[in-house]
Amino acid sequence: MTERLTLPSPAKLNLMLHILGRREDGYHELQTLFQFLDYGDEMTFAVRDDGVIQLHTEFADVPHDSNLIVKAAKKLQEQSGCPLGIDIWIDKILPMGGGIGGGSSNAATTLLGLNHLWQLGWDEDRLAALGLTLGADVPVFVRGHAAFAEGVGEKLTPVEPEEPWYVVLVPQVSVSTAEIFSDPLLTRNSSPIKVRPVPKGNSRNDCLPVVARRYPDVRNALNLLGKLTEAKLTGTGSCVFGGFPNKAEADKVSALLTETLTGFVAKGSNVSMLHRKLQSLL
């Protein structure tokens, strides 16, 4: 039995995000298009035989037991009845409140990693259902394939968008998703898209006007990248991105902008690097 495992925990982008309305439970009905980046955190897991779940990396302002990583591990342990425990370390590079799915990705990597190490044999459907109880974005990371998402983001249809290179700018602000979704000026009546795949020209993000108005740093990043390509917001932000046909062009634009802004270049991928790594272990 493998006792120790290191796995990637990739970022995602929302290539579009339309908000169709607000449900009675307060959540919003939406349509979005998820794609992964070959860029993310790295997580290391080591099995313990005493049942203890211990995250060794500290997060400012997030108590140990409130961390989504720990919550994911404990839920899987409880629901599977597994007597084993786990030590977890994370090399964290994805920003909090960036709209690129850092916390959700970490939770999904934890579920998949522990399913492998604890030899639980859970299938993707079962892991995704557990993941949904942790957050609406967790299932897409569990499934690991680019997807058109509906509902609160949990109804997933696999899709194959183009896989360009992206420049991602990271404004040094953390955007509160709850704050954006409760803003009275947020568009909540977009018409649903009925076509698969999503037609070109439907790439707007309904959260962008609200985020740009509330966060000058995000507005600045959108304006600067927008001079060089179509600049988009992922999720509720704060990260801003634009696509390029090759790495050389993305690197060139990134070099111009990262003198004053934090950012990175990454390849878009329809199969997450986490799943490619897990596949290589089989």
Write out the catalytic residue numbers: 12, 137
Instruction: Tell me if 182 is assigned to a ligand binding site.
Output: no
Structure tokens at 179: 């704050």
> Going by C-beta distance under 8 Å and a sequence separation of 6 or more, which residues neighbour residue 268?
13, 35, 36, 37, 38, 161, 162, 163, 164, 165, 166, 243
Q: How far is CA 159 from the centre of its chain?
A: 17
Q: Confirm if 274 and 7 have CB atoms less than 8 A apart.
A: yes
Instruction: Tell me if 242 is assigned to a ligand binding site.
Output: no
Provide the 3-class DSSP secondary structure of residue 133: coil
Structure tokens at 203: 């790439």
Q: Confirm if 120 and 105 have CB atoms less than 8 A apart.
A: no
The rounded distance, in Å, linking the Cα atoms of 235 and 271 is 19
Instruction: Tell me if 100 is assigned to a ligand binding site.
Output: yes
Instruction: Tell me if 105 is assigned to a ligand binding site.
Output: yes
Q: How far is CA 12 from the centre of its chain?
A: 4
Q: Confirm if 33 and 114 have CB atoms less than 8 A apart.
A: no
Where residue 144 falls (left for φ over 0; alpha for ψ -120 to 50; beta otherwise) is left
Instruction: Tell me if 180 is assigned to a ligand binding site.
Output: no
Instruction: Tell me if 164 is assigned to a ligand binding site.
Output: no
List Cβ<8 Å contacts ≥24 apart for 212-217.
213/185, 214/175, 214/179, 214/180, 214/183, 215/171, 215/173, 215/175, 217/171, 217/172, 217/173
Instruction: Tell me if 151 is assigned to a ligand binding site.
Output: no
Strands 147-150 and 85-91: unpaired
C-alpha separations of 50 from 46, 66, 86, 87, 207 in Å: 12, 21, 9, 11, 45
| Residues contributing to the annotated binding site | 95-105
| Residues contributing to the annotated binding site for ATP | 95-105
